[in-house]
Amino acid sequence: MASSVNVVIPTYERPDFLRGAIETAVNQTHAPSEVIVVDDGSSTRYAERIVNEYPDFVECIRHERNKGLSAARNTGIREATATYVAFLDDDDRWHETKLSKQATALDEDDSAAIATCLLVAIRPDNEIVHCETWMPEGDCADAMLTGNRIGTPSRVLVRRRAATDIGGFDESLPTKQDWDFYLRLCQDWNVTGVAEHLCFRRVHESMSSSVEAIERDKQSVLQKHEGRIRQRGLWTEANAEVSERIGRANL
């Protein structure tokens, strides 16, 4: 039997999505010992009402004001007690075997703190936008210094102890906190994974960011880790990756 898992579901002003996220978590073949819904200061208490429809192992924690996605995930990490923590955005969904297969992968690799998987990007009408064919594995310390090779936290399972040791997500960053989170984890831990499409990420038109915001937020991560990146001789490559992403955004 794989090690215990807690699921953290942040939600903010999206009552139409939350129930589906809880369902995809509780219906896993490797049932989580706890599902922690973090309402990040929504204007109504919809999260509490929805959580009350489920057994006691599904709980709701409410922020009295909106603190941001990183703060919501950190609240979940602090509340978690299981060996592993999975993060699930309220509009994303999982294959029913995701937690079982990823927990087994981590159980079998003591050097890894992150288990990932392949991802399918879908529109709100469930039309497929993209199916991945590659995922990172092994020592990703240098690779993560130049860009986010892992992607959305909805696709990963993380050792809770490792996440706690690095202080969770950086709440001071405007966005790209997931890249920073993985980058710091990968300096001491490897990445393992399951080469199957186990995570289904919903893509919204509203997810597009301005070119200025993309440049600002990616540069903020580079500046935070500039010393380490330069020490590894990757500063030019890291900036080139950012420039390439900005170019694609302009197109």
Q: Running DSSP on this structure, what letter comes out for residue 189?
A: -
Q: Which residues contact 215 (CB under 8 A, 6 or more apart)?
A: 242, 246
pLDDT band at 9 (very low <50, low <70, confident <90, very high): very high
Structure tokens at 78: 């602090």
Distances (CA, A) of 249 to 123, 150, 213, 246: 19, 19, 11, 5
Helices 235-250 & 211-224, crossing angle to 10 degrees? 170
Helix spans in 12-68 (H): 15-26, 46-51
Q: Which residues contact 147 (CB under 8 A, 6 or more apart)?
A: 179, 238, 241, 245
Q: Which residues contact 203 (CB under 8 A, 6 or more apart)?
A: 121, 122, 123, 129
Structure tokens at 155: 């696709």
Q: Which residues contact 107 (CB under 8 A, 6 or more apart)?
A: 2, 3
Structure tokens at 50: 């929805």
Q: What is the pTM of this model?
A: 0.95
pLDDT in tens, 208-232: 568 888 888 999 999 999 999 999 9
* pLDDT at residue 35, as a whole number: 98
pLDDT in tens, 16-70: 999 999 999 999 999 999 999 999 999 999 999 999 999 999 999 999 999 999 9
8 A C-beta contact, residue 121 and residue 40: no
Q: Which residues contact 132 (CB under 8 A, 6 or more apart)?
A: 118, 119, 120, 197
* pLDDT at residue 98, as a whole number: 98
CA angle 73, 137, 103 (to 5 degrees): 55
